[in-house]
Amino acid sequence: MNIIVAADKNWAIGKNNKLLVSIPQDMKFFRETTTGKVVVMGRKTLESFPGGQPLKKRVNIVLTSDKNYHVNGADIVHSIDALLEELKKYPAEDIYVIGGESIYRQLLPYCDKAYVTKIDHAYDADTFFPNLDEDPQWRMTKTSDEQTYFDLEYEFTIYERLS
């Protein structure tokens, strides 16, 4: 299973249920990486999408404790166990955890690869991703050349869990 996230230099990922910044190349990378795949998210992440609608051309699975939550076009599960059971239907390499913070933290132990867009800026934020640089179980195995979006510098990185 994979994780995909954009994080600032403090591993911040959002504020007020919104992304910190929208970088067109990062959005393109996200689209190209997850289209035709399975995306796993929490309810608040789904609700942050345009119209609160599931992402097109993907299997959308939402983990929420709200037993009354329903949305057309998404599979809803209510526990990690139910989620893991549901995910058995799909190849692990086709599964991408896409947020938010509590979902990332709960599912990180089940993931082997993390696609992290690292943004060289510190934002005012209220949600964070675990710092993989400080986690001895993870190592950065790939990094792109530095990219720029106006005056913002960022790079695409891949972290892999050490076996």
Query: In whole angstroms, what is the distance from residue 61 CA to residue 52 CA?
Result: 14
Q: Are 124 and 101 in contact (CB under 8 A)?
A: no
Q: Check residue 163 and give its pLDDT.
A: 77
- Stated pTM of the model: 0.96
Number of Cβ within 10 Å of residue 86's Cβ equals 17
Query: Does residue 24 contact residue 2 with C-beta atoms inside 8 Å?
Result: no
Predicted local confidence at residue 74, as pLDDT? 97
Domain coordinates of the chain in residue numbers? 2-161
Select 2-161's CATH number: 3.50.50.60, 3.40.430.10, 1.10.1740.10, 3.40.50.300: 3.40.430.10
Question: Which residue numbers in the chain have pLDDT < 50?
Answer: none
